């Protein structure tokens, strides 16, 4: 999957997208939201369905890693912002 490198590959890269977007408003973070707020939607459209599914799973794992680090908190209900039912997370601002 050659196009995969153009998307966030680490939890730190996902956090960079979150921090930039959270400056102006609060979001529920899902893999789809990372794609939207990180301006990756154009590249997303070029992927086939298998690549899209794999990418969403990988981004969700990165969000879960940020949750494990205490940067995000998992919401109890699935969220839908246009990429299907996804796990949603809230960013916790450092005190």
Q: pLDDT value at position 3?
A: 57
pLDDT tens for residues 27-66? Answer: 899 999 999 999 888 888 899 999 999 999 999 999 999 9
Q: pLDDT value at position 5?
A: 66
Q: pLDDT value at position 1?
A: 45
Phi, psi of 35 (to 5 degrees): -65, -45
Query: For the chain, first and last CA: distance in Å?
Result: 40
Q: Where are the domains of the chain?
A: 6-91
pLDDT tens for residues 66-77? Answer: 999 999 999 999
CA distance 86 to 90: 13
Write down the residue that tokens 């916790």 correspond to.
92
């Amino acid at each position: 999957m050659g196009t995969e490198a153009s998307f966030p590959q680490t939890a730190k890269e996902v956090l960079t997208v979150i921090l930039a977007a959270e400056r102006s408003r609060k979001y529920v973070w899902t893999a789809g939201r990372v794609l939207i707020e990180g301006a990756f939607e154009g590249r997303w459209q070029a992927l086939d369905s298998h690549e899209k599914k794999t990418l969403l799973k990988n981004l969700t794992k990165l969000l879960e890693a940020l949750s494990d680090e205490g940067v995000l908190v998992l919401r109890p209900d699935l969220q839908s912002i246009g990429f299907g039912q996804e796990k949603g997370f809230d960013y916790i601002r450092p005190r």
